[in-house]
Amino acid sequence: GESVGLHLPTLSVQEGDNSIINCAYSNSASDYFIWYKQESGKGPQFIIDIRSNMDKRQGQRVTVLLNKTVKHLSLQIAATQPGDSAVYFCAENFMDSSYKLIFGSGTRLLVRP
Partner 1 sequence: DTEVTQTPKHLVMGMTNKKSLKCEQHMGHRAMYWYKQKAKKPPELMFVYSYEKLSINESVPSRFSPECPNSSLLNLHLHALQPEDSALYLCASSPALRGNEQYFGPGTRLTVT
Binding site for partner 1 (CB under 8 A): 31-32, 34, 36, 41-46, 49, 51, 89, 93, 98-106
Q: Using the minimum distance from each CB to partner 1, give the nearer residue, 44 or 73.
A: 44
Q: Which amino acid is at 88?
A: Y
- Three-state secondary structure string covering 36-60: EEECCCCCCEEEEEEECCCCEEECC
Q: Nearest distance from residue 33's CB to partner 1, in Å?
A: 10
Q: Using the minimum distance from each CB to partner 1, give the nearer residue, 3 or 18.
A: 3
For residue 63, count CB atoms less than 10 angstroms from its CB and return exposed for 0-12, middle for 13-18, buried for 19 or more.
Answer: middle
Q: Nearest distance from residue 84's CB to partner 1, in Å?
A: 18
Q: Using the minimum distance from each CB to partner 1, give the nearer residue, 102 or 110.
A: 102
